[in-house]
Structure 1
Amino acid sequence: AVGWSGYLNNGIQALFGAGLVETLLHGPWEMTSGGDTGIVNLPALAIVAALGVLLAKGAKISAQFNAVMVLVKVAAILLFLAVAIGHLEPSNWTPFIPAPVTDPNGATHFGWPGVLTGAATIFFAYIGFDAVSTAAEECENPQRDLPIGILGSLAVCTVLYIVVSGVLTGIVPYTELKTASPVASALLKVGEEWAAGLIAIGAIAGLTTVMLVLYFAITRILFAISRDGLLPPFFSHISERTKSPVRVIVTIGAIMCGLAGFLPLDRLAELTNIGTLGAFVVVCAGVITLRRTHPNMARGFRTPFGPVIPLLGIGFCLWLMASLRVETWQAFGVWLIAGLVVYFSYSMRHSKLAGGTTRPLA
């Protein structure tokens, strides 16, 4: 949502020559370009609220909206590549991996340590792929459709990420890309104002689809957790009119509004990444555990090569987590402790699945 806000402002600047009030684009822990303290990221709040309303109206409307936004996003990517290719400066790629630099706080930037930190920071770009599995109940043949959807989209998007990142750093030095909307900003720097405005619109569409998918996924995950009894039944309530878990949507939306409106982008990215990486560690460990505790369970999809892939997943996730800042680990620890308190005080005693009152998952 914070990145969406940045691209919205870039698009308005490119199209109308002036942007939004900067204090309403930053939270209180950020400074504007004029040296003022931010108040609240108002566009970020607005888009989260709007997506919450859209999700509350039902999955069908959300899916139709998402399909249109995906088309706009792909068109924007192709437009960027077509326009930017004529501004490539190979010298911007030299050195390809800059020498490491240590700042006054002791943190190391650039070099291979910087590559690792960068990988951990941009990991949120891959979060949406696992969210495909949350739509299993809507698939006609989930055993076939889910692996194809996850692996196929992962392959296509990885190629696009690499190409766009390479071209982006080829038209503008990487030192000038520290902004919430780097693609549009880079085009503005090379004099392609018209394209920057269109790209900003495409980026807005792209980020909107990402937010919509993740918002949808987290509401369905919490709904399923509540349905199992791990959370109070309040969160598993379904609206009779829209057939959506409106209570979960409103609760999650309120939390996201608070985070997006008041925290800076880099902190949000790291908090998101360490939480997701930690969840992936648990999932990989769960695959190994289920193989041993429920060897005869019917499985729609079976991870190949036994425990090798889950162990590699655990190793790589922990490796990326180790490169994040101490403050991020501290925040992660607080959330982890809060989750454990909820589990041991409520979830463990109310779980229907653990008590055998629901059917095993295939």
Structure 2
Amino acid sequence: MSLKHKLLRKKPIPVLHGGEVRSSLKKQLGAMDLIVLGVGSIVGTGIFVLTGVTAATHAGPGLILSFILAGIVCVFCALCYAEFASTVPVSGSAYTYSYSTFGEGAAWILGWDLILEYGFASALVASSWSGYIQGILSGFGIHLPKAISSAFNPAAGTYIDIPAILIALTIAWIISRGAKESTRLNTFMVYLKVSVVLLFIVVGAFFVKPDNWTPFMPFGFEGVVTGAAIAFLAYVGFDVIATAAEEVKQPQKNLPIGIIGSLVIVSILYVAVTAVLTGLVPYNLLNVKDPVAFALLYIQQDWMSYFISLGAVAGLTTVLMGVMYGQSRLLYSLGRDGLLPKKMSSVDPKTQSPKFSTWVTGIAVALFSGLVPLGHLADLTSIGTLFAFISVSLGIIVLRKTHPDLKRTFRVPFVPWLPLIAAISCVYLLTTLQTITWIGFIIWLLIGVIIYAAYGYRNSRLGKNELGDAE
């Protein structure tokens, strides 16, 4: 078998379709569990931080349109995910979908890309969580020693971020107890943060001054488009739902409901919060780290600031739980396919969850968030996500051509045009990223190529014909 043929070998669709892959994971999640997982994975720093900075520097009150535009692009991508998830209900999300459409080489690159996305996103959220919780503690007069309050930076007198390490390991422990157990806590935290967001919308609506919405687009429509490129990042997270495929009851039905349902809910929340926020405070004053809390102080509703901080902590906790959950299931899939050590796919007989890959995820996130200042690498999470979205969007077109008769319980409308629009939109957003981000991403991919050449290429189960004949 030639090198080219090995890199293009595909996992046969019949092995994947209909959940026919024998899975050791327990099927226990319903549609509502998936919607909660999606909302929990999406609503976090985007709504509590991104809204203010983007409004002040790019879009003004026109950020309302920015979120609508970004939401439309995400809906297009979500429809593509929904068709794949209902047709190929197997853990691994975009990695698994690429394996069945583009071949093993592309699938590995995308899987390695998703490790970057989930890993850095988790570490960044853990660091942000640490900052918020320390802010709450300081309100009660409790201050951590500076040396253990932030990542390694001797010039600033900080050496390790203990709260970030503790939350990463705690979330890993919760996830390791099984999907249903982690979903219960996630559900409670999601309801808490959504309640806080709704409280802000309802209370804030009484103080809105329509004059603050004028001018509506102070930076022109170009500013609105730039705002959409940034606002797009606030929607990242719905793809985590697809990683739960093998733990879902009736996946062909429930996965599309979970993906699209969570995205619709989040879109409504984002637009409503942005409308109220820019109606409360002149847009040029919103360039702060905590715009929602700042807006409440601006209208002298100090009593709500505590609830907002509580909602922010809950929001970051559920985002961290969702992203680390996705990372552990991705590692499980890569290990099961032989592209990473088999130990990654081991399943605890009691909890029926991939405990080893969960703890690998937890320890890695704890180390990165506790020791490495990751602020300047934030865009790496975005570039990984956009590449995944492009792959899934184009994959729908390919799968319709190569397997036109495959049973699909959910179908993307207007193929190939809608998937093409989704892919082109993501390509445009990629062009807005900085050069340093591209350099870091390329270096990461080169490391992945080396690992695949040294291990995955030789140990692939598909290459050993353990998954059936490759297409």
The normalised TM-score by structure 2 is 0.65
Kept in 2, the 8 Å contact 1:187–1:196? The answer is yes
Residue identity opposite 1:4 in structure 2: W
What is the rounded CA distance, in whole Å, between the counterparts of 1:84 and 1:20 in structure 2? 34
What is the rounded CA distance, in whole Å, between the counterparts of 2:154 and 2:279 in structure 1? 29
What is the rounded CA distance, in whole Å, between the counterparts of 2:454 and 2:395 in structure 1? 22
1:54 aligns with 2:54: no
Structure 2 vs 1, CA of residues 260 and 121 (structure 1 numbering), >3 Å: closer, same or farther? farther
Compute the displacement of 1:148 (Å): 1.4
Counterpart of 2:191 in structure 1 is 71
Structure 2 vs 1, CA of residues 203 and 350 (structure 1 numbering), >3 Å: closer, same or farther? same
Compute the displacement of 1:305 (Å): 2.4
What is the rounded CA distance, in whole Å, between the counterparts of 1:155 and 1:279 in structure 2? 20
Residue identity opposite 1:57 in structure 2: R
Counterpart of 1:43 in structure 2 is 163
> 5 Å matches for 1:307-322?
307-322=416-431
Counterpart of 1:191 in structure 2 is 300
The share of aligned pairs that are identical, in percent, is 41
> 5 Å matches for 1:102-251?
114-251=223-360
Structure 2 vs 1, CA of residues 202 and 156 (structure 1 numbering), >3 Å: closer, same or farther? same
> 5 Å matches for 1:318-333?
318-333=427-442
Kept in 2, the 8 Å contact 1:6–1:181? The answer is no
1:96-134 deviation per Cα after TM superposition (whole angstroms, max 9, x unaligned): 3344xxxxxxxxxxx555544443444343222121122
Could you tell me which of 115, 122, 140 is aligned with 1:16?
Answer: 140
Residue identity opposite 2:171 in structure 1: L
Residue identity opposite 1:145 in structure 2: N
Structure 2 vs 1, CA of residues 72 and 282 (structure 1 numbering), >3 Å: closer, same or farther? same
Kept in 1, the 8 Å contact 2:172–2:362? The answer is yes
Residue identity opposite 1:252 in structure 2: T
What is the rounded CA distance, in whole Å, between the counterparts of 1:91 and 1:28 in structure 2? 45
1:291-320 deviation per Cα after TM superposition (whole angstroms, max 9, x unaligned): 334444444433332322222221111111
Compute the displacement of 1:54 (Å): 0.8
Could you tell me which of 269, 273, 276 is aligned with 2:382?
Answer: 273
Counterpart of 1:81 in structure 2 is 201
Structure 2 vs 1, CA of residues 326 and 22 (structure 1 numbering), >3 Å: closer, same or farther? farther
Counterpart of 1:105 in structure 2 is none
Structure 2 vs 1, CA of residues 297 and 322 (structure 1 numbering), >3 Å: closer, same or farther? same
Compute the displacement of 1:277 (Å): 0.6
Kept in 2, the 8 Å contact 1:27–1:40? The answer is yes
**Greater mean alpha carbon deviation, residues 202-211 or residues 170-179:** 170-179
Structure 2 vs 1, CA of residues 195 and 238 (structure 1 numbering), >3 Å: closer, same or farther? same
Kept in 2, the 8 Å contact 1:123–1:273? The answer is no
Compute the displacement of 1:154 (Å): 0.8
What is the rounded CA distance, in whole Å, between the counterparts of 1:354 and 1:98 in structure 2? 57
**Greater mean alpha carbon deviation, residues 61-70 or residues 232-241:** 232-241
What is the rounded CA distance, in whole Å, between the counterparts of 1:41 and 1:177 in structure 2? 28
1:95 aligns with 2:215: yes
Counterpart of 1:291 in structure 2 is 400
Compute the displacement of 1:40 (Å): 4.1
Structure 2 vs 1, CA of residues 255 and 181 (structure 1 numbering), >3 Å: closer, same or farther? farther
Compute the displacement of 1:276 (Å): 0.7
Residue identity opposite 1:88 in structure 2: V
Structure 2 vs 1, CA of residues 240 and 45 (structure 1 numbering), >3 Å: closer, same or farther? same
Kept in 2, the 8 Å contact 1:121–1:269? The answer is no
Kept in 2, the 8 Å contact 1:129–1:150? The answer is yes
Compute the displacement of 1:282 (Å): 1.9
Compute the displacement of 1:6 (Å): 3.5
Residue identity opposite 1:272 in structure 2: T
Counterpart of 2:132 in structure 1 is 7
Residue identity opposite 1:128 in structure 2: G
Compute the displacement of 1:233 (Å): 0.7
> 5 Å matches for 1:329-340?
329-340=438-449
What is the rounded CA distance, in whole Å, between the counterparts of 1:356 and 1:297 in structure 2? 23
Kept in 1, the 8 Å contact 2:346–2:355? The answer is yes
Kept in 2, the 8 Å contact 1:172–1:186? The answer is yes
Q: Which runs of 4+ in 1 moved over 6 A?
A: none
1:44 is paired with a residue of what secondary structure? helix
What is the rounded CA distance, in whole Å, between the counterparts of 1:350 and 1:79 in structure 2? 53
Counterpart of 1:103 in structure 2 is none
Compute the displacement of 1:83 (Å): 2.6
Kept in 1, the 8 Å contact 2:151–2:161? The answer is yes
Residue identity opposite 1:72 in structure 2: L
Compute the displacement of 1:177 (Å): 3.9
1:301 is paired with a residue of what secondary structure? coil
Counterpart of 1:358 in structure 2 is 467
Counterpart of 2:43 in structure 1 is none
What is the rounded CA distance, in whole Å, between the counterparts of 1:157 and 1:203 in structure 2? 15
1:244 is paired with a residue of what secondary structure? coil
Structure 1: gaps (5+ residues): 100-110
